[in-house]
Amino acid sequence: MSKEGMLNCLFQVYSSKSKEWRKLDVYKFGYDSWPDGQVVFASGVLYWLTNGNILGFDVETEQPYFIILPVERIHRSEGLCGVCIGESEGCLHLIVISKAGLRVWILDSESKWVVNITFSDRGRVPAVPLYGCQKSCYSGSK
């Protein structure tokens, strides 16, 4: 980490034609923007969930960018149970499970978040096996 509290990130792209890796420019990200390891590919973009938003990397333009989450981050002390990203029909999905319920957003073709599913049953959250999500804190009953 640099003196300014920024992390350096180096993207490398593999070419199947030349069978070689190519290094891209070094990008600086704040600590809260560092990817957590979970990655999803949708419509030509690699997405990583971070501590504060979503990092996208367009494989055609080879440029990274950030997508703001549709809701403010909920901390575990405030009832967060799990957060993950996924892909369906070429669209990025954000899934948030909290004590208040389960909510799924889809990033549409205009890069706007649209609520797809909302489930709330008086504090009970269904036990939904979501691959890649952080631990769930409810099993479907109080």
More confident residue, 4 or 1: 4
Per-residue pLDDT tens over the stretch 40-57: 999 999 998 887 788 899
Q: Residue 27 and residue 4: Cα distance in Å, rounded?
A: 14
The pair of structure tokens assigned to 76 is 């575990």
More confident residue, 123 or 71: 71
DSSP letters for the chain: --TTSEEEEEEEEEETTTTEEEEEEEEEEEGGGSEEEEEEEETTEEEEEESSEEEEEETTTTEEEEEE-SSPPPPGGGTEEEEEEEEETTEEEEEEEETTEEEEEEE-TTS-EEEEEEE-BTTB------TTPPPPS--S--
The pair of structure tokens assigned to 62 is 């080879």
pTM for the predicted model, two decimal places: 0.73
Greatest C-alpha distance within the chain:
57
Structural contact between residues 99 and 121, judged by C-beta atoms closer than 8 angstroms: no
- pLDDT-derived band at 3 (thresholds 50, 70, 90) equals very low
* pLDDT of res. 102: 84
> What is the bridge-based pairing of β-strands 35-42 and 45-50?
antiparallel
Using left for φ > 0, alpha for ψ between -120 and 50, and beta otherwise, residue 116 falls in alpha
Per-residue pLDDT tens over the stretch 56-113: 999 999 988 888 888 876 666 666 677 889 998 899 999 888 777 788 999 988 889 9
